Chain A
Amino acid sequence: AQKVTQAQTEISVVEKEDVTLDCVYETRDTTYYLFWYKQPPSGELVFLIRRNSFDEQNEISGRYSWNFQKSTSSFNFTITASQVVDSAVYFCALSVLSNTGKLIFGQGTTLQVKP
């Protein structure tokens, strides 16, 4: 069985602070994909990143960075110098190829960035 846990339900920071959103996953499959999605107040789910299980390289995209560690089954997401526009619900998700490609989501972390 697969599972994704986002232990942080809500996080509140002040603009320009760095913030890390945690994601821990469980799967017995050796081939899998990890995702982060952002859900702004407008409601749609916006794709941020996909990593496959064979690529543990960390990734940086502007103010966003992701730390994938198979040893701890974690795929954490860091926003550097947060901005008010970063306020949203962030979902971590897992997909295993043996399972039709469906996504298993975590509970989501609501990030509030105050000015």
Chain B
Amino acid sequence: EAGVTQFPSHSVIEKGQTVTLRCDPISGHDNLYWYRRVMGKEIKFLLHFVKESKQDESGMPNNRFLAERTGGTYSTLKVQPAELEDSGVYFCASSLSRTEAFFGQGTRLTVV
């Protein structure tokens, strides 16, 4: 069974550009979460989808971040325009229940 897959694994963009991260959850997992780890700090929650609906987006840092989950399958996280402080590792996780989440390998975003 395929795990959570994230694309790309690395992305380097210039300040002001747009970047879109993609997450393919484990098939059948209704819950999908985005997290971010910035500058070696703790991993912080960004938002939670249940199927295609945003259940909790309290962790989204500002309106430059837009997350979507088309048809309740894969999800995208767009940063537009990117700023230097957006650099970090973005993790996606999926789960059947809310008690155990499986993580992808993360996307390392570097804004220069």
Contact = CB atoms under 8 A, between A and B. Distances in A.
Contacts of A45: 43, 91, 93, 103, 106
A50 B93 CA distance: 15
Interface residues of A, number: 25
Interface string B42-65: 111100100000011001000000
A91 B41 CA distance: 11
A105 B98 contact: no
A97 B108 contact: no
A106 B44 CA distance: 9
B42 A101 contact: no
Contact of B56 (A43, A46, A102): A102
The size class of the interface chain B forms with chain A is: 20 to 34
Nearest to A37: B103
Interface in A89-115: 91, 93, 95, 97, 99-108
B41 A44 contact: no
A102 B48 contact: yes
Interface of B: 9, 31, 33, 35, 40-45, 48, 55-56, 59, 89, 91, 93, 95, 97-106, 108
Interface of A: 4, 33, 37, 42-47, 50, 52, 91, 93, 95, 97, 99-108
List the 4 shortest-distance A-B pairs measured between CB atoms, nearest first: A101-B98, A45-B103, A44-B105, A105-B43
